[in-house]
Amino acid sequence: MKFSGEVTHLSQKGYGVVKNTHNAVSYFVHGTWPGDIGEFEVIDKPAHNKKFAYARLIRIINPSPHRQYPACVYVNLKDNPCTGCPWMIADYASQLDQKRKHFLYAMKRVGFDAADFDSVPIQPALELFGYRNRCQVKTDGRKLGFINEESGQMVAVSDCIVLNKPCRTLLKTAIQRLSDESWRFPVDGGIHFIDLDDTMQRGEIQVDRKRPFRQGNTQQNIWMRAWLKEKLAQIPNLNKVVELFCGSGNFTQIIAGSECRSIRAYEADQSAIDQLQSKNLPKVSACVADLFAPFIWRSLKKHVSDADTLVLDPPRAGLKRQSGFFESFRALKTMIYISCNPETFARDAWFFKRQGWSVDEVQLIDQFPHTPHVEVLAMLRNNA
C-alpha cells in the first residue's frame, strides 16, 4: 500500500513519523525528517503497537527545510544503505534540537513536568566528522562493513568518514586482510565482528575479540571529565565516593583528583578492573561486581552504606536493579548520573524522585553527531 503524507516528528528511536489519513495509522519511516512531505510504501515489519506500523520512503515530494544531502556515500545508497548515521540527512542545528526534544519527552513520559527542563543546555560536538575513536565492523571473510538495521544485511564499505584518522587507517588495514582464511566461514551466513579503536596497532586486529569499553568521542569525553571535576568541586565536605560501572577508570581518575577521602569503584569486567588497578590511583579500591545481579545492593551494603556521594555511568539498561538500593546507600547526599540513554535515565530519576531526591541540574552532550544518541549528565540531591 502506498500513501502520501508529511513527517510530523521523530520517534524515540529516531524514525520519522507520518500518519496515513486513509487508515489513521502512523508509520515509522527511516531516512525522513520532520517537515518532509513524501510518498511512502507500507512494509512488512512488525510493530509492538497496533496504532503504528513501518513504511519506507519512495520519494520526497517536498523536503523539510532542515533536510540536506548526506556527506557519506553509503548513507545515500538507494538499496541497502548504511544506517549507522541516519541523521546525516539533516542540518546539525536541527539534530541538536531533536536530541533535546528526545530527552524532554522521555522525562515527561515517566511523570516529570517537561517545563522544568526546557532550558536544559546541550553541548554540541566540536567535529561533525572524523570524531569517532572506536567502532565495530562485521565481516563474513569476503566483505567488511556495517549491518543495515532495516534489512539486517551487511553494507560493504571502503571507508567511514565519522571515524578519526587512526581508526580509518585500521579499517582500511582490516579490509586488506580479507584474504585471511581464518576470517572466512566454511559456508555462507556466518558473521565475525571486529572491534577497532585508536589505541590499537595494526597487528592487533582480530575477529571476535572484544575491546574494553571507552567513550567513543575523545573531545567530548574531555569535556565530560571537566564537567565532572567541576561538579565534584561544588560538593561540600566530600568524603567517601562510590562509583558504579567504573570501567577502566575514565571517570575514576577525575574522582581521585578531587578532595574526597576514599573511593570504592565497581565494575563487572575483570580486565577493566585490572586496567584501573594498574593506574595506581590514590584513595581507590577497585572491585569486580555484577551490578545487575539479584540482591546486588544487599551484598555491597557494608562497603557502601557510609558513602555520601555516588557517581554512576551505567550502560543503556540504566540502574536496572532498584530494590534495596537506598537501604544499602543510607548516607547518600549527592548523586552524579552519567547516562547514554534518556529513557532509562528518566526511569531511574523518577525512582529517585519518589524516594525524596530532586534532579537539580542536567546537561546534555552530543557524543555522536548524525545519530539519535544523546548523553545525559545530571546531579541529583537528597532533599531529606
Q: What is the pLDDT of residues 177-196, one digit of tens each?
A: 998 888 887 666 689 999 99
pLDDT for the residue numbered 46: 79
Report the pLDDT value the prediction gives residue 187, as an integer from 0 to 100: 65
Residues 234 and 345 in one domain: yes
Least confident range of 112-116, 320-324, 345-349: 320-324
Respond yes or no: is residue 340 known to be catalytic.
yes
> Tell me, what's the pLDDT at 184?
81
Cα Rg of the chain (Å, integer): 23
- Is 120 among the domain residues? no
Classify burial at 275, counting beta carbons within 10 Å of its beta carbon; exposed 0-12, middle 13-18, buried 19 or more: middle
> Residue 360 has which C-alpha cell?
537539580
Q: Whose grid coordinates read 544485511?
A: 153
346 and 248 in a single domain? The answer is yes
SS3 at position 5: strand
Task: Please tell me the predicted confidence (pLDDT) of residue 72.
Answer: 97
CA distance 101 to 370: 15
Q: How confident is the model at residue 8 (pLDDT cuts 50, 70, 90)?
A: very high
Q: Are residues 375 and 231 in the same domain?
A: yes
Dihedral over Cα of 94, 96, 102, 103: its sign: negative
What confidence score (pLDDT) does residue 188 get? 65
Task: Indicate if 276 and 152 belong to the same structural domain.
Answer: no
Region 49-59 average pLDDT: 88
Look at phi and psi of residue 59 and say left if phi exceeds 0, alpha if psi is from -120 to 50, else beta: beta
Model confidence at 20: pLDDT above 80: yes
Q: Please check whether residues 157 and 222 belong to one and the same domain.
A: no
On whether residue 184 sits in a domain, the answer given is: yes
Give the domain extent around 42.
Answer: 2-67
Query: What local confidence, expressed as pLDDT, does residue 177 receive?
Result: 93
pLDDT value of residue 299? 95
Judge if 193 and 235 occupy the same domain. no
Question: 276 near 286, Cβ under 8 Å?
Answer: yes
Q: What is the pLDDT of residue 186?
A: 64
What is the Cα–Cα distance from 209 to 140, expressed in whole angstroms?
15
**For residues 283 and 260, what is the distance between their CA atoms, to the nearest angstrom?**
8
The whole-angstrom separation of Cα 173 and Cα 157 is: 13
Tens of pLDDT, residues 261-313? 999 999 999 999 999 999 999 999 999 999 999 999 999 999 999 999 999 99
Domain shared by 224 and 373, yes or no: yes
**Residue percentage of the chain with pLDDT more than 90:** 86
Do 367 and 224 lie in a common domain?
Answer: yes
Same domain, 181 and 222: no
Domain assignment of residue 344, yes or no: yes
d(CA 371, CA 13): 10
The pLDDT tens digits of the residues spanning 356-365 come to: 999 999 999 9
pLDDT for 345 equals 98
Q: Which of 72, 82, 260, 340 is catalytic?
A: 340
Which grid coordinates belong to 55? 513504511
Q: What is the pLDDT of residue 179?
A: 84
Query: In this structure, what CATH number is given to the domain that contains residue 37?
Result: 2.40.50.140
* Boundary (domain end) residue, out of 52, 67, 82: 67
Coil, strand or helix at 17: strand
Q: Give pairs for 54-63: CB < 8 Å, separation 24+.
A: 54/27, 54/28, 54/29, 55/3, 55/18, 55/27, 55/28, 55/29, 56/29, 56/30, 57/29, 57/30, 57/31, 57/32, 58/2, 60/36, 61/4, 61/37, 62/36, 62/37, 62/38, 63/35, 63/36, 63/37
User: Which among 47, 86, 82, 80 has a CA at the least distance from the CA of 151?
Assistant: 80
Closest of 296, 285, 283, 219 to residue 246, by C-alpha:
285
Domain with residue 351: its CATH number is 3.40.50.150
Asked if 59 and 138 sit in the same domain, the reply is: no
Amino acid 78: pLDDT:
83
Query: Of the candidates 67, 88, 114, which is a domain's last residue?
Result: 67
Please indicate, yes or no, if residue 246 is contained in any of the structural domains: yes
Across the chain, what does the average pLDDT equal? 94
- Give the model's pLDDT for residue 151: 86
Where are the extended beta strands (E) located within 63-198?
A: 122-123, 134-139, 144-147, 154-156, 192-197
| Mean pLDDT on 321-339 | 95
Domain C-terminal end among 35, 67, 99:
67
Q: Is residue 100 part of a domain?
A: no
Which residue's entry shows cell 511512502? 40
Total domain count for the chain?
A: 3
The verdict on residue 124 lying in a domain is no
Whole-angstrom distance, CA of residue 142 vs CA of residue 153: 14
- Contact between 287 and 300 under an 8 Å Cβ cutoff? The reply is no
48 has pLDDT over 80: no
Within a domain: 95: no
Q: State pLDDT tens for residues 254-266.
A: 999 999 999 999 9
In a domain, 252, yes or no: yes
What is residue 134's DSSP assignment? Answer: E
Side chain identity, residue 19: K
Is the domain of 253 the same as that of 196?
no
Q: What is the pTM of this model?
A: 0.93
290 and 364 share a domain?
Answer: yes
